[in-house]
Amino acid sequence: MQGTKKVSDSTVERLSLYLRLLGELHESGVATVSSRELARRGGTTAAQVRKDLSVFGTFGKRGLGYAVPELKERLRGILGLSRPWRVAVVGAGKIGSALLGYADFRRQGFLVEAVFDRDPEKVGRTREGLRISPDEALEEELGARGIDIVIVAVPAESAQEVVDRAVSAGVRGVLNFAPTKLDVPPGIALKNVNMAVELEGLSFALVHEADASARDGGENGGGDGVAT
Amino acid sequence: MQGTKKVSDSTVERLSLYLRLLGELHESGVATVSSRELARRGGTTAAQVRKDLSVFGTFGKRGLGYAVPELKERLRGILGLSRPWRVAVVGAGKIGSALLGYADFRRQGFLVEAVFDRDPEKVGRTREGLRISPDEALEEELGARGIDIVIVAVPAESAQEVVDRAVSAGVRGVLNFAPTKLDVPPGIALKNVNMAVELEGLSFALVHEADASARDGGENGGGDGVAT
DNA sequence: AACTGTGAAAACTTTCACAGCC
DNA sequence: GGCTGTGAAAGTTTTCACAGTT
């Protein structure tokens, strides 16, 4: 792969946003949408929408805009959603269990097919129709089931160990909810979700509110941080 | 406050990261730390650490580094954590309930003091020692309790309404878990957490053969650039 | 006329490199 | 020698503005 061009994280994040908006438009029976309208609904700008899309090709018709169903399918393809992904959740505590029930995952093709916990009290019980497997079975089951992505919902202390074992079992993507920095080898994708960081970002915005409002005209105070 | 300069979101995110690292160092009894060591632990660079801190003043000693307990307290102050924040969770479904039990919140001074739900079945029940209040009581209770921040954990359709009502009751920060774009008036801080976006980011990285040099600041955003 | 696709400019963020202090 | 604080350089992302298509 030579002609490989780097795509920024924020572009990918916005593609995800556009995909959601296109789904909504599709459901409402809208056939065509302009970059301006997508931008309005997504809280960004028309130029940004066009630039983001232009990274992957040309999808619109000048004078007309974008065909909703077509662009939606193209974006699904670009985001890797035209095939399902096998997901496992490690840690059946509060957060892990809450994620299991998150129906939106399945809707977008993320199939949660295994849950693990280290607590013998929990092992064998069922969560959302899935039997909780023991920690010791991690490598074997991840491998046997061909899991692509693990969601790490264990305490910070155990998170790195879980990731190392998952990677050794062939997992290629990690969504980390533990409040700690994880190291993964090259070629393994890692995303972090950290609620403390978000709350502290709000706290910062609140104590520095004066600065923010002195400055802005129409933008949402404090901006919208992460993962829109 | 006119002369105040804009601080970037990513700087604030990293301050949050540094604060966590300083907490760990403090617990281990480490008295002093260099920008280089903080960077190593946080997956960033020494220059970045120094630049981030320099926005707020000068905290280190040349030749020596930073005094851990002192820098930690300074960062807490900068992030607005030297006072507690009153938080309410709206929506006592899976995610809302999971958040209630998240002990780290309390530890950093985010006091969850109210939960709301629209479902009459849930109203009156208890979650983590908190009685679930009915949706209709939202404005009054938020106002009476002086809630600063609401965590929105309701379905996308109801999220904007909840935010409008919360803002009218005096709330100044919103942490949104609903997968929808929210509008808030100027001066109100808003952060979004969207699991679908994170998973789709992983999916993108996986199909585009992540060249993942695996570093990561730790908090949001994660993985890094990827090739097309 | 409406709207895209895109080079070029502007804005912003990160990295470099070094003077100055311990 | 070790290390910070910071201007200047490099790199990245966003916005502008307009030629070109339907």
- Which residues 205-224 of B are in CB contact (within 8 Å) with A? 205-224
Per-residue pLDDT tens digits for B48-102: 999 999 999 999 999 999 999 999 999 999 999 999 999 999 999 999 999 998 7
Instruction: Report residues of chain A scoring pLDDT below 70.
Output: 1-4, 210-228
Identify nearest nucleotide to residue B53 by CA to C1′ distance.
Answer: D5
What local confidence, expressed as pLDDT, does residue A212 receive? 55
Nearest Cα to B205, choosing from A3, A6, A145, A54? A6
Task: Name the residue of chain B whose CA is nearest to A21's CA.
Answer: B180
- Give residue A130's pLDDT: 95
B121 has a pLDDT exceeding 70: yes
The answer, for A181 touching chain B at a CB cutoff of 8 Å, is yes
Cα separation, A210 vs B2, in Å, equals 9
Residue A210: predicted pLDDT: 64
Q: Which nucleotides of C are covered by protein (CB under 7 A)?
A: 1-7, 12-17, 20-22
Q: Residue A81 is nearest to which of B200, B212, B228, comparing CB atoms?
A: B200
Gap between the Cα atoms of B152 and B142, Å rounded: 13
In angstroms, rounded to a whole number, what is the distance separating the alpha carbons of residues B12 and B68? Answer: 19
Q: Mean per-residue pLDDT for B16-44? A: 98
For the cut 50, the answer to whether the pLDDT of residue B192 exceeds it is yes
Ordered alpha helix ranges (H), chain A: 9-27, 35-42, 46-54, 68-78, 94-100, 103-107, 138-145, 156-168, 195-207, 209-215
Given a cut of 90, whether residue B34 has pLDDT beyond it is: yes
* Chain A closest-CA separation from residue B106 CA (Å): 10
Contact B76, B69 (CB under 8 A): no
Query: In angstroms, rounded to a whole number, what is the distance separating the alpha carbons of residues A174 and A163?
Result: 8
Distance from CA of B7 to the nearest CA of A (A): 10
Residue of B nearest to A172 (CA): B206
Q: How far is the CA of B58 from the C1' of C19 (A)?
A: 16
The answer to whether B205 and B212 are in contact (CB under 8 A) is: yes
* Closest CA relative to residue B145, chosen from B167, B169, B123: B169
Q: Which of A9, A201, A210 sits opposite B1 (nearest CB)?
A: A210
Amino acid, single-letter form, for residue B220: N
- CA angle at B202 for the pair A135 and B99, rounded to the nearest 5°: 60
| Residues of chain B neighbouring A15 (CB-CB closer than 8 A) | 200, 204
pLDDT at site B103? 72
Does any strand C atom come closer than 7 Å to the Cβ of A50?
yes
**How many residues in chain A?**
228
Cβ contact, residue pair A79, B200, below 8 Å: yes
Rounded to whole angstroms, the distance from the CA of residue A47 to the C1' of nucleotide D16 is 9
CA distance A111 to A49: 30
Count of pairs with CB atoms under 8 A, one residue in A, one in B = 310
Average pLDDT over residues B165-189: 97
Backbone φ and ψ of B37, nearest 5°: -70, -40
Nearest one of B161, B91, B178, B160 to B132, comparing CA atoms: B91
What was the pLDDT predicted at B101? Answer: 81
Q: Work out the pLDDT band at B218, boundaries 50, 70, 90.
A: very low
Question: CA-CA distance, B110 to B191, in Å (whole number)?
Answer: 15
Between A108 and B135, name the one with better pLDDT: B135
Q: Among A106, A82, A99, which Cα is nearest to A177's?
A: A99
- Taking the CA of residue B89 and the nearest CA in chain A, the distance in Å comes to 13
Write out chain A residues lying below 8 Å of B7, CB-based: 204, 208
Question: Is A110 within 8 Å of chain B by CB?
Answer: yes
Written as one letter, the residue type at A195 is: M
Look at A214 and B1 and tell me if their CB atoms are within 8 Å.
yes
* A222 conformational bin, left if phi > 0, alpha if psi -120 to 50, beta if neither: left
